[in-house]
Structure formats: C-alpha cells, structure tokens
Structure 1
C-alpha cells in the first residue's frame, strides 16, 4: 500500500514503464508481446490500514515513510475505494468525543467490497469490555448509512466480533457473478477490478482443457471456482486454515460441486506426489483419483521452491500467476527445458508502485 501521494496524470507513464520492464524480463523466453490489463487510476484498492495518532484533543490517521519512518498525515486516501474514503472521517468524528471508543485506539483496518460492504477492525492497546462492545454497536448503526458495515475489536489476545468477521465480495468473471467470502486478516486480492481481469484471463486461457485442474495456493477459491467450468474436477490446495474454510464455503455459496479443497502446503503436496511422505488429508481427498493435466500456481513473492518446480513440470499446461516477476523468471529458467511460454500478461494490481503482477501460460514441449 503506497504511502506516497499519487497523480493520476502519471498513470499511463508508470504503466508503460512496467510493460517495457516485464517484456525485457520475459524476452529470454521468446515472449515479445504481453496482454496488458490496466487498473482504475484512483479508488482501486479494496483494503487499507492506518495508524491512529492522538494529539491532544485531536486524532487523525497516519502512515509511515518506510525509508525515513517519517509520519505522514492521511485525511483522505485516493488509492482506496470510495467506501473507505467515506468511512475514514466518519469513524474518527464518531470516536473523537467518546472515551470508551477512543482510549488507546491504535489502528484502523478496512476490508471492503464492490457491493458496498465493509469490515472495520478497531485495534487497541488495552483490553475491551462490555461498555466498548455496546458503544461499538452504536457506531456500527451510525455507519450503516454508508453500506453494510461490520465491526471487529481487537486487543492483545482478544477479539470481539459484533456480528461477523467477514464480508461477501461479488466478482464478475466473463459476465457471470461469483460470490466470495473474505475474512478479516486472510489474504484477498487488493484490486478488485484488476482481479476480475486476471481471473477472466486465466479462464480464457484454459478453455478447451481436458482432464482435471490442480491448483496450489488456492486461497479462498479466487481462481478455483470460476475455472471449475473448464475442467472435469479441480483439486485445490492451501495451507491457511481460514482460507480453506472460506474456499469450501464459497463452493457452496456458488453452487459449485466439482472442487475439492485440501489443507496442504505446496511443499507438502509435492512431497506426497513424489512419494516421499504420507498424508492423511491427501488420502482422504483421494488425490490419486484425479487426472490433472493442468496446474495453476499463485505463489507468494518467494516463488516456487525447487521441489514444487519439479512437481509442476509434470503437467502439460501450467498457469503461473506471479506477484514477483523476479522469482517468476527464476522459475521459468528451470521450466524452460520442458515447457514453452505461450502467453503472458501484466496485471496492474499495484499502480504507482514498482510492484507488478504477471501471468504466464506454459505448454509442454513436443
């Protein structure tokens, strides 16, 4: 999340620079053209977090310059969507004169959706009591004029959930709506508009596929659910307990019944597939019954470890979504002995920063 002021007039320049950089990084793999998916120039980020600074009778949001640790006052945040910008001043105005809500309020976190839902987490450096809970309910009612608002209070070893700690996002993928539970403190794609492009791109790239799909790092089913229509079955793995529960919930929410979600890390799954270990969860999922010919990976910034690279090499088609093109290139250097890059894309998830989200489709060499 950038702390710097943005100028939307600079958007196309920064995007062009990213396109040229990604092209140069992928050039060794015979990639000359890439699909480019722009972000909205402002109000594109669906989540944000701010420290709360107390200054006498006043309080306001701040961010820190990561290089200098300089405090930067934030009264509005054009990077974030409109709902976050509406809620930011409303929350401070409400709690400013209410000691039970204001006392030792340390941070406010926002998770929002395209359908005007928001989860607001109020984080404190003190324990919370019934009085806080009662006044937080009144705050929740006051904020309802902006949309469907949920509030969670947090302190050390304490979490008070007024109603629920999640929202439901609706994404339009290839003109079809998909609903996704998004839980506080679990991973979700920050830029909903670009995420819709990204999933639609993967959906289009896998049309006409045969057999089943293996997905590693499936999260809450962001790719699994829409792509399920292109395959007989989907075997999806994820290490986060919360994300696994959400992925299963989202399958039911969207009436999708050909997706099996297994709680396993990519490293553990690779070891099982290599015959180096046994897994009760793998056995219960009957993973040997799947006929996976395509694999989709969306790893963290560190990319794929060596064992997982060897695992994905066994599949005819690889869909690789990367939030770090540097580790993507490292993995492609290993995979190029067996696969060719047939298609590539840049998804501008993080405008006005140096971060890039990329996608490549690899096909087994004949």
Structure 2
C-alpha cells in the first residue's frame, strides 16, 4: 500500500497540521479549530508537467524543489483528478504519434472541474501554424476537451479558454467560469467545504459585505445571499472578467465589482484620492458590517489590516497560517477570534488553508 492509499498516514499528517494551527493561534485564545479533511487521492483539479526527452520520447516530468536537472518521470499522478489521469496517456499517445504536436513541446497544463469539464494547455518553444491548429482541433474533439496552444506572443484557443465548475452551498448550485491561467482553488471537494463554512459563519446579516481579493467570485456568490449587498474588489483583469460572467450566469444582482487592489480601495475609503474605476459607485451608501479577505500568501499589508479593524466582523481565509497569525496580532486589541477552521486543501504537503472569524470586542 502506498502512502497515498493509507488512511492512517493521512490522519497523522492532518493531525500535525491541526497541532501547528492550534499553536499559532494559541496566543489569541482561539477556540479549537474545526477540521475539514480531503480525499486522500484524486483531489487535485489542476496539474502542470514539464516534458523530458529520453530514449527519443517525451515523458511527463516533475522536479524536486531546487533541482531542475533530475526529472521524476511520471505516467500517472494519483493526487490529480481521475479526469487528469485518464487524459494523460491519451495526450501522450497523441504527441508521440504526431511530429506537428510534439515538435518543441515543453510543458503541459491540465485544468479540470468536479462538474466534468477539462482544458489542456500545450506550451511550445516555437510558433504555432495552420498545421498545428488542424491537428490540435482534431485532438480536442477526440479528447472531448478545450485546448490552448501557447508560444511566445501566441495564444491559440480551441473551444473555451475557461472551464465550468458547479459547487453547491446550502442546497443552492452555483456555476463558475474558471479561466486558464487565473487562480482557482485546486481541491474542489475542500473548496466546497470552505464555501459552506464561510456561509455558515457569516450567518444572515442585514448590512453589507466588503470583499477584498475576490478572484473569480468563488466566495462572493454564496456570501452575497447572506447580506444586503456586496462591494467586491480584485486587481486581476482575467479574474474580474470571470467574476462578472459568474454574476450574470448565476443571476445575482446585489454585487458591485471594482478592479482595484486592496491598497487602492483602502485609499478610496480613506478619501486619500478618487479613482475613476469607482465612478458611479457611492461608497457612502454602503453599511458595511463584515469584511471578507482571502489574501495572497504574504497576507494583508499593514494599511489594509488597519482598514479591516473598522468592521464588526472580519472573515479571513488564509493560505499561510504564519501571515494569518501576524495579521491577527495586529488586530487582537480590537477583535477576538470566535471561530477558526483548518481546510486540508493540500494533503501530503506542509501547506494548509485556514479560516477565522474575528469579532469586535
């Protein structure tokens, strides 16, 4: 039995993470973490492989951290979704049978969803021509996927440049477009648990929600059903476009989305300077009771952290418990941790996703 098939080994690594989160939050008198586990295999919805040429053939390869010269050749990838594992040998057979598809192909990326959609990106060290387009169209049809070819200055899309996901929160189905190259949660099963936890913890509110770092609207959609209205911000153009499409696809009309960084929104709320991207949005019309943040690994910068202090409730999802703890330390004199959770988004690694609800003292 491999470690990936051993429930006892999985439980042990999860308990280690719980102990680590408990230790990091102990200075803030946090309650015991709620723990949300992951499937022990086939949980990862996206994967990226370099290709390694050996004995005249290209193979999927990965490398240990810090070592770019010793490939680990891969035929199957048990942590990846069953869809990725089914596509891997079919794609390999296709490039082995076609010089047009394989010539100067150096990287392959898979993006799949719980809803059954799939997108493959092929990356090349050469320009892609009509012959490539013809074979790629045939391949996409054969595999039942969308396909993107990337080369310097080129991005050829066959089908869609996004996948479609469906996640259920509190009995309601939400549909998401997840663009190629934009951030999405890699573990769909745990993502759904995170959404449900955030929905439950927020509770039914009569005031408004401010969301920073909203991405494609992953949390925005279900949380919008718990409040009067939402102002959400995101800086990535592709994520903003996906979020706008997701609002329309789900028929949600109480969300205003603005393309601003968290730092810029802080300046706008502090009336440091106006932003044209806020034209038509009356910030003074909002009665914010909760701020929701899901920042990058670096956490919130000090000014944004100070901004969140104004709110009665701070709902914080973190992919880095160390920066989460540092941000809580800055807020601890005015807010206390009343709920916390560990989401095992990344089994078999030291990484963890966590969440806290901070309430004004």
Deviations 1:177-236 (A, max 9, x none): 110000000010000000000010000011122300000000000011001111000100
Aligned residues: 358
Q: State the alpha-carbon separation in 1 of the partners of residues 329 and 251 from structure 2.
A: 39
2:304 corresponds in structure 1 to: 308
- Cα deviation, 1:55-94, whole Å, max 9, x if unaligned, reads 2432210001113332111111011000000001110101
Q: Which residue of 2 aligns with 1:91?
A: 91
Q: 1:185 aligns with which of 157, 178, 181?
A: 181
CA distance in 2, matches of 1:271, 1:5: 49
Runs (4 or more) in structure 1 with deviation over 6 Å come to: none
Matches within 5 A, 1:1-366: 6=4, 8-9=6-7, 10-69=9-68, 70-144=70-144, 149-365=145-361
**Cα separation, 1, equivalents of 2:273 and 2:265:** 9
Whole-angstrom distance in 1 between the partners of 2:104 and 2:203: 53
**Per the alignment, in what secondary structure is the counterpart of residue 230 of structure 1?**
coil
Q: Which structure 1 segments of 5+ residues have no match?
A: none
- Asked whether the 8 Å contact 1:61–1:73 carries over to 2, the reply is yes
CA distance in 1, matches of 2:54, 2:127: 22
CA contact (8 A) 2:210 2:230 kept: yes
Distance 2:100 2:15 in 1: 49
CA RMSD of aligned residues (A): 1.2
Moved more, 276-285 or 354-363: 276-285
133-142 vs 52-61, which moves further = 52-61
Residues 212 and 293 in structure 2, CA contact (< 8 A), matched pair in contact too: yes
What secondary structure sits across from 1:342 in the alignment? strand
**Which has the higher mean CA deviation after the structures are superposed, 283-292 or 314-323?**
283-292
The answer to whether the 8 A contact 1:318-1:361 is kept is yes
Q: Deviations over 1:265-291 (max 9, x none)?
A: 000001111121211112332222211
Distance in 1 (alpha carbons) for counterparts of 2:126 and 2:185: 31
Give the secondary-structure state (helix, strand or coil) at the position aligned to 1:331: helix
Secondary structure in 1 matching 2:329: helix
TM-score, length-normalised on structure 2?
0.97
Report if the CA contact (8 A) 1:262-1:285 is conserved.
no
Deviation at 1:8, TM superposition (A): 3.5
**Cα distance in 2, alignment partners of residues 259 and 273 from structure 1:** 18
1:7 CA drift (Å): 5.0
TM-score (norm 1): 0.96
Aligned mates of 1:131, 1:138 — CA distance in 2 = 11
SS of the residue aligned with 1:288?
Answer: helix
Does the CA-based 8 Å contact 2:31-2:338 persist in structure 1? no
The structural deviation recorded for 1:345 is 0.2
Residues 160 and 178 (structure 1), Cα distance of their counterparts in 2 relative to 1, 3 Å cut: same
Kindly indicate whether the alpha-carbon contact (under 8 Å) linking 2:44 and 2:80 is maintained by their aligned counterparts in 1.
yes
**Separation in 1, partners of 2:55, 2:13:** 40
d(CA) in 2 for partners of 1:5, 1:238 = 39
